[in-house]
Amino acid sequence: MARTSEDTTPLSELVGGLVSDVTGLLRKEIDLAKTEASEKLSHALNGIEVLIVGLVLAIGAVGVLLSAIVQGLAAFLVTQGIAQPTANAIAALVVAIVIGGIAWAMVSRGIGALRATKMKLDRTATSIRRDVDVVKEKM
């Protein structure tokens, strides 16, 4: 039986090569994990940014409109025969409940968008599993 150059390679060189390959592979996997985590964080920050801008705009718009809505509803209640102080209180309460419900729905939607951003490193995990399988096959 003829010996090939692979048969004459010392075990120490084979182990050294394997360690070198595994080390390089781990470095590449770490780089991939960093890149993927950065992408996920960037996506999450975009969601937070949209949520904050939406909340600021909602607060500004609500602040401008609330007074007019309360006064309009109070005026309507006065025409229905309710005394002015009572009409003002009822109008303020109704508007606060409606606006509070809208605000709750918007905040819930923003939080849902943040939860939808999965922070799992799917590509890295798949790649590491594949690498582990390859190393197991070589051993």
The per-residue pLDDT for range 35-87, each reduced to its tens digit, is 888 888 888 888 899 899 999 998 888 788 888 999 999 999 999 999 999 99
| DSSP single-letter state for residue 45 | H
Both tokens of 38, joined, read: 């950065």
Element at 120 (helix H, strand E):
none
Q: Where are the domains of the chain?
A: 13-138
User: Tens of pLDDT along 111-132?
Assistant: 888 876 666 677 777 888 887 7
Kindly report the number of other CB atoms within 10 A of residue 20's CB atom: 10
CA dist., res. 116 & res. 91, Å (int): 38
